[in-house]
Amino acid sequence: MLGTGLIGTFYTMSLHGQRSRDQVVAIYSRTEERARAFADQWRIPKTYTDMKAAIEDPDVDVVVIGLPNNQHEEAVLLAAAAGKGVLCTKPLARTAAEAKRMLDAVERAGVFHGYLEDLAYTPKTLKALRSVQNGALGKVLWTRSREAHPGPHSDWFWDPKMSGGGAIVDLGCHCIEIGRNYIGKDIRPVEAMCWAATQVKPIDAEDNAIGLVKYENGAISQFEVSWTYRGGMDLRDEVAGTEGNIRTDHFLRTGFEMFTGVGLGGYVAEKTESESGWLFPVGDEVHELGYTDMFSDMFNAIDNGTEPMETFYDGYVVNAIMDACYRSAESKKWEPVELEVWRGKTGLEDTRTVNDYDEDHYLIKEELLPDGRRKVIIKHKQSGELSQKIV
């Protein structure tokens, strides 16, 4: 495990809690004091302050990266050189160019690689995704993903030189990949439009952003991200298709609500700002945030010699989309998503899905009226004339 911050803690909790046969055998931290404290807490036998030595430890089979974004490439290159499988936290990199170098390194080395995009693995998302893939919504037309909270935990996040940006690179990566999963990861993202601004924080990066990503088949994916949202962490997703829609709320409204005037007396949930008043605790935080299913997928894929749901290639595509979003925020125009490598479908047409009412008409809408009658609105195929019928 590389890193002893919040994400390293969540990862270790997941690994030690879900699959007892997986163990963190070595921990790397910049300081010996922090490494030892983390090792004592999680019963990890070895500590390192030298990243290369930690990766090359003969007892290490897989390297898990929970480091600041500017250290991801260095860690991946060291793992690839050592012939070790590597799992990297989100975002994969600061830019698509950096992500592409990391992808090339693991593929040249032939080592296992997984992109740790936890919010694509939340229990609700996985169940919703199976429904979408089974055709329950018909053709997916639109997705919306929102992540908003008061801001990240560590100082490096707020420095765009280290992180690669602000709320887009921190939170937008989650939202973009959720949208890709619903629309289909084999559908090419073609262009992006984004607004981004620094509205509150005294920083050199955006603390709020809204973006649109258009896909080759005509689907549109929307994201909303904020580092200034008050009252906890808001995680919500929507997906709409020709035959239905799904809405999910993952964190701020959990079905567990509590009021206390004196205080809870301890930790409530990630990004919670207070321990008194109305609170929304989370029963099993690492499970609700997707870490449990994410690591199960990763290590089952290693055991079975298959690819996990999220790979470095997915991380590269996400970085390319975020690059287009940043260009759009500057240009105020739609910007192309520049992918040096595309491994999905090509040549798709943006076509509308139409339904026949009868041999001569298309069906526009059908509805039940308050008096029990049924109305249909139709369009003549040849003349284009619109009409309605009570049936």
pLDDT in tens, 364-385: 999 999 999 999 999 999 999 9
Rounded to 5 degrees, φ, ψ at 306 are: -120, 175
Residue 343 maps to a domain: no
Three-state SS for 204?
A: coil
69-91, pLDDT tens digit by residue?
999 999 999 999 999 999 999 99
Same domain, 107 and 29: yes
- One-letter amino acid identity for 301? A
End-of-domain residue from the set 84, 118, 152: 118
Q: What does the pLDDT read at residue 266? A: 77
Residue 308 maps to a domain: no
Residue 297 maps to a domain: no
pLDDT(264) > 80: no
Candidates 144, 158, 140, 265; CA nearest to 202 is 158
Residue 44 vs residues 16, 192, 291: alpha-carbon distances, Å: 10, 44, 19
Position 259 confidence tier, pLDDT thresholds 50, 70, 90: confident
Residue 321 maps to a domain: yes
Contact 79, 86 (CB under 8 A): yes
Three-state SS for 61?
A: coil
CA torsion sign for 347, 353, 356, 359 is negative
- Burial of residue 17 (CB within 10 Å: 0-12, 13-18, 19+) is middle
Contact 321, 183 (CB under 8 A): no
pLDDT(108) > 80: yes
Contact 111, 79 (CB under 8 A): yes
Same domain, 386 and 277: no
The structure tokens listed for 176 are: 């973009």
Same domain, 59 and 162: no
Cα 49–Cα 51–Cα 57 angle in degrees, nearest 5: 100
Structural domain range at position 385 = 355-390
Q: What domain count does the chain have?
A: 3
Least confident interval from 60-69, 129-138, 278-287: 278-287
Same domain, 21 and 98: yes
End-of-domain residue from the set 118, 144, 175: 118
Q: What does the pLDDT read at residue 170? A: 97
Contact 141, 241 (CB under 8 A): yes
44-74, pLDDT tens digit by residue?
999 999 999 999 999 999 999 999 999 999 9
332-349, pLDDT tens digit by residue?
999 999 999 999 999 888
Q: What does the pLDDT read at residue 282? A: 77
Same domain, 326 and 247: yes
Place of tokens 């979408």: 132
Residue 230 maps to a domain: yes
Helix (H) / strand (E) element for 130: namely helix 123-133
Same domain, 86 and 11: yes
Residue 301 maps to a domain: no
Candidates 26, 44, 66, 251; CA nearest to 153 is 66
End-of-domain residue from the set 118, 152, 170: 118
Same domain, 214 and 261: yes
Report the CATH number at residue 210.
Answer: 3.30.360.10
Q: What does the pLDDT read at residue 19? A: 56
Position 288 confidence tier, pLDDT thresholds 50, 70, 90: confident
Same domain, 125 and 236: yes
Q: What is the DSSP string of 265-305?
A: SS--STT---SSEEE---SSHHHHTTHHHHHHHHHHHHHHT
Q: What does the pLDDT read at residue 18? A: 58
Residue 154 maps to a domain: yes
Helix (H) / strand (E) element for 27: namely strand 26-28
Calpha distance 170→92 (Å, rounded): 11
